[in-house]
Amino acid sequence: MKFVLVHRIPGRARLRCEQRFGPRTAEALADGLDAVDGVEGVRVNPRTGSVLLVYRDEGTLSRACLFLNGAPCTAEKPLVRDTGRAEGRPGLFPFFRYLFLRPLLPVAVNMVTAFSGALPYLRRCVASLSRGRMDVDALDGAAIAVSLLRRDFRTVGLLTLLLGFGDALERYTQKKSLENLASHLALQVDRVWVQRDGEEMLIPFSELKASDLVTVRAGSAVPVDGVVVRGTALVNESSMTGEPMGVMRTQGASVYAGTVVEDGEIHVHPTSIGKDTRMQQIVRFIENSEQLKAGIQGRFEKLADRAVPFTFALAGLVWLFTRSLTRAASVLLVDYSCALRLATPLAILAAMNEGVKHKVMVKGGRFLEALASVDTVVFDKTGTLTQSRPEVARVVPAPGFEADEVLRLSACLEEHFPHPVARAVVHGAEKRNLRHAEEHTEVEYVVAHGIASQWRGRRVLLGSRHYIAQDEGVDLTPMEEHIAALSREGYSLLYLAVDGGIAGIIAMEDPIRPESPELVRRLRDMGIAHVLMLTGDDVRTASVVAAGLGITEFRAQVLPEDKARVVRELRQSGRTVLMLGDGINDSPALSSADVGVTLRDGADLAREVADVVLMGGSLKELVTALELGRGAMRRIHVNFTATMVLNSVFLFGGLTGLLRPGLSAVFHNLTTLGVSLNAMRPALPGGK
Residues serving a catalytic function are 380
**C-alpha to C-alpha distance for 661 and 653, rounded to whole angstroms:** 10
**C-alpha to C-alpha distance for 611 and 595, rounded to whole angstroms:** 6
The region, left, alpha or beta by phi > 0 then psi within -120 to 50, assigned to residue 11 is: left
Contact between 102 and 157 (Cβ < 8 Å): yes
**C-alpha to C-alpha distance for 619 and 632, rounded to whole angstroms:** 21
- Dihedrals φ, ψ of 449, to 5°? -120, -65
Q: What is the dihedral of CA 253, 254, 259, 261, to 10 degrees?
A: 30
With 0-12 CB in 10 A as exposed, 13-18 as middle and 19+ as buried, what is 517?
middle
DSSP assignment of 127-193: HHHHTT--SHHHHHHHHHHHHHHTT-HHHHHHHHHHHHHHHHHHHHHHHHHHHHHHHTT----SEEE
**C-alpha to C-alpha distance for 269 and 191, rounded to whole angstroms:** 16
- HSE at residue 632, side-chain half, CA atoms within 13 A, is 34
With 0-12 CB in 10 A as exposed, 13-18 as middle and 19+ as buried, what is 301?
middle
Q: Among 660, 666, 650, which Cα is nearest to 161's? A: 666
DSSP assignment of 123-142: HHHHHHHHTT--SHHHHHHH
Strand pairing of 360-362 and 458-463?
Answer: unpaired
DSSP assignment of 523-536: HHHTT--EEEEE-S
Contact between 278 and 272 (Cβ < 8 Å): yes
**C-alpha to C-alpha distance for 551 and 386, rounded to whole angstroms:** 14
**C-alpha to C-alpha distance for 112 and 508, rounded to whole angstroms:** 84
User: Distance of CA 393 to CAs 10, 436, 478, 496, 680, Å?
Assistant: 63, 19, 21, 16, 52
The residue type of 37 is D
**C-alpha to C-alpha distance for 402 and 679, rounded to whole angstroms:** 67
Helix (H) or strand (E) holding 493: strand 492-498
**C-alpha to C-alpha distance for 484 and 280, rounded to whole angstroms:** 53
Beta bridge partners of 203: 192
Beta bridge partners of 45: 50
Task: Please tell me what DSSP assigns to residue 375.
Answer: -
**C-alpha to C-alpha distance for 368 and 109, rounded to whole angstroms:** 51
Contact between 593 and 367 (Cβ < 8 Å): no
Contact between 557 and 539 (Cβ < 8 Å): yes
**C-alpha to C-alpha distance for 248 and 214, rounded to whole angstroms:** 18
The residue type of 28 is A
The residue type of 281 is Q
Q: What is the CA radius of gyration of the chain?
A: 32
Beta bridge partners of 651: none
